[in-house]
Chains A and B, each alone.
Chain A
Amino acid sequence: AQRVTQPEKLLSVFKGAPVELKCNYSYSGSPELFWYVQYSRQRLQLLLRHISRESIKGFTADLNKGETSFHLKKPFAQEEDSAMYYCASPEGTGANNLFFGTGTRLTVIP
């Protein structure tokens, strides 16, 4: 089964500074990985998925198989980026239920 770990519970950066939220996975095959975000008083929602190789709200995440990482990055943090971020992967091959990391709370300081 795929597993993800997020080593940082809390991360604070100043507005305009670069952001990197760490996610490491343990899976020997080709992983499927997601980033979900939860803004204050809002529901958990998909931010981006690795298979799409997209940039959402200025965030990107590249799969690094050598480091088994899927870190979420943004070059210039905005105050509205303050939220709880979860890395996730499917529980097993062919499954579409998710295993979530413990999450990282990002605070962008004005």
Chain B
Amino acid sequence: ETGVTQSPTHLIKTRGQQVTLRCSSQSGHNTVSWYQQALGQGPQFIFQYYREEENGRGNFPPRFSGLQFPNYSSELNVNALELDDSALYLCASSLPGPINTEAFFGQGTRLTVV
């Protein structure tokens, strides 16, 4: 069984640029959630995808968008990067189900916006 993998591990971008982060979900998991973790904070929910459709969204502006592919892998896209977007971005996959379903996290992508 393969775990959740994210790429790249680190990334530096300039303010105003666009970035795409990638996530491969754990084998058999068709639900993917993305979280932003700023320094010293807990992860904050960005959005979730289930069967290629957005299935819930946190308090993030539309310049944060995503995709899920038929193999359940996912992308997080951020347009018009701002300095405050610097954070660790976590992907988590899970099986759909009741609210006590365990989320399996990737190692994260560390994004720095300069």
Contacts and interface: CB of A to CB of B under 8 A. Distances in A.
A44 B90 contact: yes
A90 B92 CA distance: 14
A103 B44 CA distance: 12
Contacts of B105: 43-45
Given A90-B99, A100-B42, A95 B56 contact: yes
A85 to B, nearest CB: 10
Interface in B1-46: 3-4, 31, 33, 35, 40-45
Q: Is the interface of B mostly helix, strand, loop or mixed?
A: loop
21 contacts: A9-B40, A32-B100, A43-B107, A44-B90, A49-B100, A51-B100, A86-B43, A90-B99, A96-B48, A96-B94, A96-B98, A97-B33, A97-B48, A97-B56, A98-B43, A98-B103, A99-B45, A100-B44, A102-B40, A102-B41, A102-B42
